[in-house]
Structure formats: structure tokens, C-alpha cells
Amino acid sequence: MYVETWEKCLQFIQDRIPPQSFKTWFEPIIPLNLEGNVLTIQVPSQFFYEWLEENYVHLLKQAIRSEIGEKGRLEYSVVMDRGDEQTKPLTVSVSGSSNSQNKNRVNGFDKYKNPDFLEELQNNSNLNPNYLFDNFIEGDCNRLARSAGFAVAQKPGVTSFNPLMFYGGVGLGKTHLVQAIGNQIKSDNRGKSIIYVASEKFTNQFIEALKNNNIQDFINYYKEVDVLIIDDIQFLRDKEKTQEIFFHIFNHLHQSGKQIILTSDCAPKDLKGLQERLVSRFKWGLTADLKQPDFETRMAIIQKKMQNDGISIPDQVIEYIAYSVDTNVRELEGVVISLIAHASLTKREIDLELSKQILKNIVHDIDSEVGIDYIQKTVSDFFSVAQDDLKAKTRKKEIVIARQVAMYFSKDYTNHSLKSIGYHFGGRDHSTVIHAVQSVNDMIDTNAKFRYSIEELKKKLKFKTHAV
């Protein structure tokens, strides 16, 4: 019965929106139940749920009304964790629109009604349930940090990684990783108290406590936690009093075998404005840095993100995004989200064409056409030689090879004549270019490692040549 009802709703909806939007946002929905006037549907993710509520709430209401009647209502069951063969997916129920309280619950951020300071401290571990090891993609860029984090999550306070400190630029996964540790410990140890706090919030709590004569409460409270996670410790810079209190708490926790986890945007030695005695404590444990993700890791992150949101896009598009956005994961996610949003708003499929259009507005260095200069830059970066050397007289072996490869691609990927190519490489003769192309072809045939380099470079150049 409920299946049929939902089928009819789908027909109603299908007639009113473009096929691609229907496919993306309605086909993945599974009807679960119809009880009285309430139809329950399962959606693949929280993002999905929010998207439906933002964009299709009216349409859904109309459909429900036309199929169930004026009193018809919709409830969502949001899949929070897909589970695997052994465990069932974890779902959370939410009512459709108009019920904002439930919306809060699905986010996992229950608000406190009682503003009392200590109660707020006690009740709020501040862990965001979406940050897990499971959805943290491992790559060379984060392997050490992730493994250390994982070890600490298994045995908080027991390993020599205490304190455990992650550092690295914005958007590289520091917060995700420390939250994942917190969530893991929380789910494995019911009794343990875990606090995640951003250092700014820690500072504000401290100031608040000062104002209210509550310092002792503040200190006692933090002294009692089993796992203390302080994010973005660099914001304690120049806050002498806060550093002092933190130093005190730190020592107490460390001596009692409690786990301390910290993050910072730079290496401990570069933490200016933090007391030396504090910084030297950070070095007692393990510091691990998070780097920019490489291409494969970026691919995996995009794939995972799409999968989590129950959306599929062509591999070619994923590759394109991974090539184009190499700064940090947050930016990568941002691009993916705007892509999904754009596709739905403009009612277009997510294809390479659309991705290029969108990325043009987001990523700055995508220029329209691959040129000799771009090839020279890409090739010289790849072989770690200076771009100017490609045009110079030098006959050093590695430079000669890079120069020949750049000529080879210039011939293949641009419309320049041999003469013009020679000109762009320090005024060389066209026969030099012919010779370069031949040498490169020979090496491709005889040297596997070289062949692989050429393939890599082709990938790097490929999307440029496609660009509009």
C-alpha cells in the first residue's frame, strides 16, 4: 500500500521536474511505511534530507496532499551510517519541514536550555557525529597522523602519543581527525568523559569563569575529563592568563594519564606567542603534520563524499575536479557541493561541461587553452627543473630531457608550427624540435619509467586541452 502511494507521489513529482533532478533526488528514496496520514520515506544522507527540504518541500507537500489528502504528512528516515553486511544502517527519524526542533536533533547539536555554566560544560562533549575514521580517507598526506590518531583512539592515555598534536594548514582534516578520535573513544568507552573544545571557546569559558568567580569550577571540570581535545591551539597566542590555566590543566591531566589531543595551524616551533614551557610540553608526545592531499587521495575523497550523499557522477568529472582543485579538502568539498547544487538548480546533468563552467568561477588558475608556456611550466615542475632552463643553452642531461618532453607536448597539444615551437625554446631550430619528438618517442618505446612519466604528464595536461 505505502509503496503504491509513494509510486503515485513519484509520478506526480516526475511530471513537474526535469528528469535529471528526478533521478538525482527522488529515485534514491525508499518508501518505508504509511501509518494513518504519515508516509515515511528513507533518504540516503542528512545532506540529501536537507536538500529535499530546501528545494522540494512544496512539491513534496503537493504530492502528499494529492495522494493522501489534506492531512497527509511526510516523515524522513535519514541514513546516518550505511552499516555493512553485519550491521544494519543507522537511521534517524525526522519530520518534514515545519518541525525545526527535530532538525536540531539530526545535526547532533542539541541546544542547552539551561545557560548555567557548569551544566553547559558537563553536558557538552561537542563531538560532531559526522566526523569518523570511517569517512576519513587515508593517503600519504595524512598516514602518520591517522595511524597515531587511531592508536590513541584504541588506548587513550596509554600510548606514548601524549599529547598527540596535529598541525597543518586550513582544510586539511585536523578537526575531522581529532573529532574522529573523540567519537571512537566515546563509542568504545561508555564511562569516559571526552571534551572537544576549540581554543577560542576555551578562552571564552575561562573569561566567563573569571567574571563569575567560577575559576575553581572551570579548573575542576577540565581536570576531571579523560580525554581533552583542544582544536586550533594557535588562538591561545598572546593570551597569557589562558595559557597559564591551560598549562596547569595540562600538567594535571598528563600526570594522571589522561589523554590530551591538540591541533595547530603550524609546527610547534613556529607557534609564536605561546609560552616556551607550554610548547616544550607539546613535544613530549607525538606531533604529526597533515599535508595537501595528492591526486589519488583527492579522487577518493570526492568519491566518498558523493557516495555518502547518495549521488553518482561520471568518473571523468571526478577526475577533472581532483585535477583542478589541489589546495585542500575543504575547498574540494565546496566544489563538489556547488556542483551538485548547480546541477539541480539549473536542472542540468553533472557532466564535464558543467564542471568546467563552475570551476572557472571557483578555481583561479584554470585558463582557457593549453599553451607552450603552460606545457613548459607543467613539464619543468614535473622534472623539478627551472622553466627558464628549458630556453637556455644548458645541455645538462635532466634539462635536455625535460626540454625535449616539453617540445614533444608542444607539438602534440598546440597548433604552433615547428618553427614557432623552436622559437619558444630559446630560439632553437625546427630540426631540433623534430629531433626532440623522435627522442621522446624512442624513450617511450624503450624505457618503462619514462613512459610512465609521459602518461602522468598527459593526465596533467589533458584537461587543459579539453577546456573551453
Query: Are 18 and 344 a contacting pair, CB within 8 Å?
Result: no
Q: Which stretch binds ligand ADP (CB under 6 A): 212-220, 314-322, 326-334, 401-409?
A: 326-334
Q: Site residues for ligand ADP, window 336-355 (CB under 6 A)?
A: none
Between CA 164 and CA 278 the distance in angstroms is 14
Between CA 250 and CA 284 the distance in angstroms is 12
Q: Site residues for ligand ADP, window 114-143 (CB under 6 A)?
A: 135-137, 142
Residue 176 beta carbon to Mg ion: minimum distance, rounded to whole angstroms: 8
- With CB under 5 to 8 Å by kind, the binding choice for 217 among Mg ion, ligand ADP, none is none
Q: Is 298 in the site for ligand ADP (CB under 6 A)?
A: no
For ligand ADP, the closer CB: 179 or 453: 179
DSSP H/E element including 73: strand 73-81
Between CA 398 and CA 390 the distance in angstroms is 10
The partner residues of 343 in beta bridges, in order of sequence, read none
Give the interface size with ligand ADP as a residue count (CB under 6 A): 15
b/e sequence 369-389, b meaning 16+ C-beta within 10 Å = ebbbebbbebbbebbebeeeb
For Mg ion, the closer CB: 263 or 355: 263
Q: Which stretch binds Mg ion (CB under 5 A): 17-25, 128-136, 167-175, 394-402?
A: 167-175
Q: Is 179 in the site for Mg ion (CB under 5 A)?
A: no
Residue 174 beta carbon to ligand ADP: minimum distance, rounded to whole angstroms: 3
Residue 146 beta carbon to ligand ADP: minimum distance, rounded to whole angstroms: 8
Residue 199 beta carbon to ligand ADP: minimum distance, rounded to whole angstroms: 12
Between CA 2 and CA 41 the distance in angstroms is 10
For ligand ADP, the closer CB: 39 or 262: 262
Out of 175, 203, 214, 264, point to the residue binding Mg ion (CB under 5 A): 175
Between CA 276 and CA 383 the distance in angstroms is 41
Query: Are 65 and 72 a contacting pair, CB within 8 Å?
Result: yes
Between CA 345 and CA 333 the distance in angstroms is 18
The partner residues of 78 in beta bridges, in order of sequence, read 43, 92
For Mg ion, the closer CB: 264 or 355: 264
DSSP H/E element including 427: none
For ligand ADP, the closer CB: 34 or 228: 228
For ligand ADP, the closer CB: 133 or 450: 133
Residue nearest to Mg ion (CB): 175
Residue 360 beta carbon to ligand ADP: minimum distance, rounded to whole angstroms: 23
- Helix, strand, coil content of the chain in percent (nearest 5): 55, 10, 35
- With CB under 5 to 8 Å by kind, the binding choice for 51 among ligand ADP, Mg ion, none is none
For Mg ion, the closer CB: 42 or 175: 175
- With CB under 5 to 8 Å by kind, the binding choice for 173 among ligand ADP, Mg ion, none is ligand ADP
CB atoms within 10 A of CB 262: 25
Q: Which stretch binds ligand ADP (CB under 6 A): 44-52, 206-214, 328-336, 365-373?
A: 328-336
For ligand ADP, the closer CB: 55 or 128: 128
For ligand ADP, the closer CB: 333 or 351: 333
- Lay out the site mask for ligand ADP across 165-204 (x = CB under 6 A, - = otherwise): -----xxxxxxx----------------------------
Query: Are 391 and 422 a contacting pair, CB within 8 Å?
Result: no
For ligand ADP, the closer CB: 125 or 135: 135
Cell of 321: 575536479
Q: Which value, to the nearest 10 degrees, does the dihedral of the CA atoms of residues 367, 373, 374, 376 take?
A: 180
Out of 301, 302, 313, 358, point to the residue binding ligand ADP (CB under 6 A): 301
User: Which CA distances in Å does 393 have to 397, 417, 426?
Assistant: 12, 21, 8
Between CA 456 and CA 377 the distance in angstroms is 15
Residue/partner pairs of 112-115 with CB below 8 Å, 24 or more apart: none
Between CA 157 and CA 172 the distance in angstroms is 25
Q: Is 330 in the site for ligand ADP (CB under 6 A)?
A: yes
The partner residues of 31 in beta bridges, in order of sequence, read 41
Out of 329, 372, 418, 437, point to the residue binding ligand ADP (CB under 6 A): 329
Between CA 400 and CA 420 the distance in angstroms is 19
Residue 301 beta carbon to ligand ADP: minimum distance, rounded to whole angstroms: 5
Q: Which stretch binds Mg ion (CB under 5 A): 173-181, 212-220, 251-259, 368-376?
A: 173-181
For ligand ADP, the closer CB: 95 or 135: 135
In a 3-state reduction of DSSP, which class is residue 12? helix
Residues in contact with Mg ion by CB under 5 A are: 174-175
Binding residues vs ligand ADP (CB under 6 A): 135-137, 142, 170-176, 301, 329-330, 333
